[in-house]
Amino acid sequence: MGTFDERRLFEEWVAVHGRDCPSRTVIEVLANKWALYVLGAIRRYERPMRFSELRRLLDGITQKMLTQTLRSLERDGLIRRDVYPTVPPRVEYGLTPLGVDVGRLTNAVAEWAVENVDQILASRSAFDEKAAEAVRPL
């Protein structure tokens, strides 16, 4: 580390983003693609949703992964699970105020992805072409 400011900035970074920082566990939950999709689905429909609705809506998610994702989001206070005493029991998942708040962020990420997908795909293609040329024998 060079200057005092650089050292201080490094120490602050490690304190906030280091392995032992509790906020890191929150980032890990939000970095899960299925968590983003679940939060986004409930937010988009603006109403509580049943497990089967989410499963149909989230193409490619397994029952196990949806269960794990819902439990994780409920544990973190981002969604609520409401069980109704019917036969069979009816269960719905809705956003908590904290879930609504984080939904603004996840929605911004989704909008950014849609707006920039063409540029990202073009960059991937160019990178892959360049990488393929680099490994060709002479």
Please choose, from the candidates 51, 58, 54, 56, the residue with its C-alpha nearest in 3D space to the C-alpha of residue 83.
51
Domain with residue 100: its CATH number is: 1.10.10.10
**pLDDT tens, residue by residue, 12-45:** 888 777 777 888 888 888 888 899 999 999 998 8
Q: What is the mean pLDDT of residues 108-131?
A: 94
Position 138 pLDDT exceeds 70: no
Q: Would 2 be classed as within a structural domain? A: no
Q: Are 55 and 63 in contact (CB under 8 A)?
A: yes
Q: Would 18 be classed as within a structural domain? A: no
Query: Residue 90 belongs to what domain range?
Result: 32-134
- State the pLDDT confidence band at 2, using cuts at 50, 70 and 90: low
Q: Would 74 be classed as within a structural domain? A: yes
Q: Would 16 be classed as within a structural domain? A: no
Q: Would 11 be classed as within a structural domain? A: no
In the chain, the percentage of residues whose pLDDT exceeds 90 is: 60
Q: Would 17 be classed as within a structural domain? A: no
- Helices 97-134 and 33-45: angle between axes, nearest 10 degrees: 130
Q: Would 13 be classed as within a structural domain? A: no
Whole-model pTM? 0.78
Neighbours of 125 (CB within 10 A): 10
Q: Would 1 be classed as within a structural domain? A: no
Q: CA-to-CA distance for 131 and 133, rounded, in angstroms?
A: 5
3-state secondary structure of 92: strand
Helix (H) / strand (E) containing 49 = strand 49-50
Q: CA-to-CA distance for 40 and 79, rounded, in angstroms?
A: 12
- For 28, 44, 76, 106, 112, the CA distances from 102, given in Å and listed in that order, are 14, 13, 12, 6, 16
**Domains: count for the chain:** 1
